[in-house]
Each structure stands twice: as C-alpha cells, then as structure tokens.
Structure 1
Amino acid sequence: MKKAVAIGMSVVMLLGAMAGCSPSGGSSGASEKKTVKLGYVNWSEGIAMTNLAAAVLEDEMGYKVELTMADVAPVFTSVASGNTDAFMDVWLPVTHEDYMKEYGDKLEDLGVSYENALIGLAVPSYVSINSIEELNANKDQFGGEIIGIDSGAGIMKATDKAIADYGLDYKVLPGSGPTMTAALKKAIDA
C-alpha cells in the first residue's frame, strides 16, 4: 500500500510540475496538443510509474505523450540534453549517484516516490543459504553465475563491487529485468 501511495504522489508531483504548461489553458489560442516525452528503462516499477503518468497526462491534462524505452545511461543523457522531459525511476542516493554527479546540474529533482528502497542479491526462499559469504561454497548450485539487469544499472556496479569485496568466484551476466526474471523462473522450475 505504501508503494502505491508513493507512486501516486510522485505522479501528482510530476504532473504538478508540468501543469504550468497546460495545453488547454494557454492564451495563445493554439489547439495543438503539447507533447511530453517520458523516458523509461525496462524495469517493472519504472514501466508502471511511466505509464501511469502518461495516462494522467493524456486523459486528464490533454497532453500528447511519447514514451521511449532505453538503457539507463541514454535516458539520463536524453533528459540532461532536453530531448526527454522526465525520467521517473532514479534511485538515489547511491544507485544512480554517478549519473547525478555527471548530469545533476542539468536535471531537476521533482521529489521522492519511495524512500529506503533496497538493492541486493536475492535467492528463492527455499534455497538453504542466506548471505553473500555463503555463495562460493555453493557455486555449483548457482552455476557460478549471477544474472543481472542492464549493464548501466547501479545494481550491476554494486554487484561487481560485492564480487571483489567478498572474493566471489562468479560471473555477472548483464541482461534486462525480464531476462533476469525469466532466468530465475527457469532455475526455480528446474
């Protein structure tokens, strides 16, 4: 429930920020709809937030919305350059810290949609281990691989750091949210 409220509040904040540009209330008399360009990454929560914002912008505020999916690095670049109006799935302060250091002076933070989100490695509850320290001793159980999401995601950088910090004998395989989920399902089914 907290996530739903937080997502709803973030959409309200985004829409409030864009309300000053409302296409129906301008004095120019133009009947042409203004376009809002939203960038998103193929992550479940980002897809949901972006489509919710798009629906409200189109249905309630009269905008035309263009959605563009890309990896996280090109989305940040596009927002910073002004080619995309908003990206609603920035994970701060750590996960996307590098992007904010690079582009932060060209971006406007519209607020937090969900606080204290965690990232990390996960295994199904039926697996007998529950810590990173146990991974090397169970390497065969996991095929020596950690299946990740897109290579530009902060979680991938954090996973590479964990492999070094814990001396793990694993390969990190980048992919996407759906690829990672499909690999997990396949492993669970097996």
Structure 2
Amino acid sequence: MNKWKKELSFILVLLLVIVLTACGSTSGETKSEQTGVSDEELTIGQINWAENIAVTNMWKAILEDKGYNVKLSALNMGPMMMALKGGALDASLEVWLPVQDSNYLEKFQDTVNFSESTWFDNAKVGLVVPTYLEEVNSVEDLNEHKELFNGDIIGFDPGSGTMEVTDKLIEDYNLEFELIPSSEPAMLSEIKKAVENEKPIVAPLWSPHWVFSKYDLKFLEDPQNTFGGVEKIHHATRHGFEKDYPEVSEWFKNWKMDDQQIGQLIDYVESAEDPLEGAKKWVEENQELIGEWVK
C-alpha cells in the first residue's frame, strides 16, 4: 500500500510539473508567438444544421489553406455556449439575432464575445407549410385546421433558440398544438415524405436553407411577430480569442455572404460524400470573394 501511495504521489507531482510548465510557457505571448501558425489548433463548434455544416467546413478549408490546424466539434447550442464560456471552444459561427438566440446572448454576454459584425443580413425564421395547403396562410389559421396536422408541429433540436421561440409562439397564439423535438435531418425527412405524398405538415424553418430550393414551402404569417422580422447571423468567440488569433478574428469580421453564395455552398457540401471536400471545391471557385475576407 505504501509503495502504491508513493507511486501515486510521484505521478501527481509529475502532472503538476507538466501543468506548471505549460502555464509558464504562455507568459506574455499569444499562441501565434509561441508556436507559429502551423502548430496551432483552432476548435470551431459545429451544429447539425445544413448551413452550419457548410460554413464550418468552409472556414476549416480556408484556415487550413493558411496553415492553421482546425478541429470541428459537434455540439448543440447550449453546450456550445458553455464550451465558449469555459474556453474549451474557440468559436461558434452561427448566432441568430435579435430574436432566435437572444436567450443565449442574455445569459452569456458577459462570458462570451458576441461579434457585432454579421455574415448574413437577410435571414428569416418561422413556421412553414407546403404551398398546396392553400387554406393555411397564417399562424392564426392553425387551430382551425388542427386535425389536419394531428395537432403536431414537427420540430428539430431541443434547446435551440428557434425551438424555444416556437414554444413561445404556441403560447402567444394559444395554439392547440404540441411541438415535437427531433433533429434537423429527421424533420427534413418528415417534410420530404409529406411533400412527396401531398400530405399536410407544419414545421419551424429558417432561410437560408437548401430545402426551399427543393420543395415548394411557404412561411406562415406571424401577425404578433413572435419570430421577429429580419434576423442577422453573427459569430461568437471565447474571451481572449482576439488576442490569441488577431488575424483570424479580423477575417471573421470581414466575412459576408448573400443568398446565392450560401445557397451554392450548402449545395456543394450537401452533394459531396465528405462535407469538407464539397467546401474545398466551393472555396477553390470563390477565391475572389474569400480574398475580400482574408486580407
């Protein structure tokens, strides 16, 4: 037993020395100054949404071209914010404001950097139905046609900002509906099956999204404006990121995309076997645009 304790003590001391040595090496230096770009690892959060997979892989391709080592970490929005707060994550590339992710802004504004710059300025969120449902055009029409939808709104990731706003929408309009959580792929699969069979379905969706180019869907009017009007998409970083990666921080702030650009990027990523390969192809074909960001 004494021998075991001595060995354990030695291991603990050794670990302490390693930790202190690592901490000591950071004095007054940024990561770039310590290691050089080629040895750096940036960790970017990725949410399982079509446009998020597209832009995270796009930035992985761009940054690795510049010599950075980029890791993508799959997380939902809540854990993503906690990881940024704790410093385990460097950046999250998709924060919808002023409405959809306002709860995360309120909760983490003192511990996470929410960029004032935006990369997409004409986003929209709301409930959608297929266009062949001519009698349903507003959220206010839903209760009247409750049986048509079996009282279900088909949702996606629980805890996402849009799902929370959808819960609020149900309260605001006194809807006799239940929001069914799942995942974005599962929700899109249900939309696909419904549209192919001309069946009714209602789901929360957002634009930009490739699904609107594939199926004829319409946003329901939202007279109380629960979902808000035009949304803008920001990025967020951990505290200290601008100091550690000033160059990358500036590139993120320069980043701007329009509907056509993000739509094409999503299409390239969705159609490729490997999302990164699809993103690389798009990056190769859009060097002039990327040069406006990375300068």
Is the pair's TM-score, using the shorter chain for normalization, greater than 0.5? yes
Shift of 1:42: 0.8
Shift of 1:164: 1.3
**TM-score w.r.t. length of structure 1:** 0.81
2:108 to 103, 107, 122: 103
Identical counterparts, % of pairs: 38
Structure 1 residues 135-180: Cα deviation after superposition (integer angstroms, max 9, x where no partner): 1111222121101121111111111111112111111011121111
Aligned to 2:87: 82
Aligned to 1:127: 133
Structure 1 residues 81-122: Cα deviation after superposition (integer angstroms, max 9, x where no partner): 110100001011211111111111222233201124221100
**Pairing 1:48–2:60 present:** no
Helix, strand or coil: the match of 2:128?
A: coil
Helix, strand or coil: the match of 1:117?
A: strand
2:185 to 159, 178, 181: 178
- The answer on whether the counterparts of 2:37 and 2:67 sit within 8 Å (CA) in structure 1 is no
Distance verdict in 2 for CA 1:49–1:172, change over 3 Å: same
| Distance in 1 (alpha carbons) for counterparts of 2:163 and 2:37 | 46
Distance verdict in 2 for CA 1:31–1:159, change over 3 Å: closer
Q: Which has the higher contact order (CA 8 A, sep 6+)?
A: 2
1:171 is matched by which residue type in structure 2?
A: E
- 1:1-190 equivalence runs, <5 A: 26=33, 33-59=39-65, 61-110=66-115, 111-128=117-134, 129-190=136-197
- The answer on whether the counterparts of 2:44 and 2:91 sit within 8 Å (CA) in structure 1 is yes
- The answer on whether the counterparts of 2:156 and 2:184 sit within 8 Å (CA) in structure 1 is yes
- Computed over aligned residues only, the root mean square deviation of the Cα atoms, in angstroms, reads 1.9
Q: Which runs of 4+ in 1 moved over 4 A?
A: 28-32
More strand as a share of residues: 2
**TM-score w.r.t. length of structure 2:** 0.53
- The answer on whether the counterparts of 2:37 and 2:68 sit within 8 Å (CA) in structure 1 is no
Structure possessing the higher radius of gyration over alpha carbons: 2
Structure 1 residues 36-89: Cα deviation after superposition (integer angstroms, max 9, x where no partner): 000021111111111101100112x11111111111100111111110100001
Distance verdict in 2 for CA 1:75–1:188, change over 3 Å: same
- The answer on whether the counterparts of 2:105 and 2:114 sit within 8 Å (CA) in structure 1 is no
Shift of 1:123: 0.5
Aligned to 1:6: none
Which stretches in structure 2 are left out of the alignment for 5+ residues?
1-29, 198-295
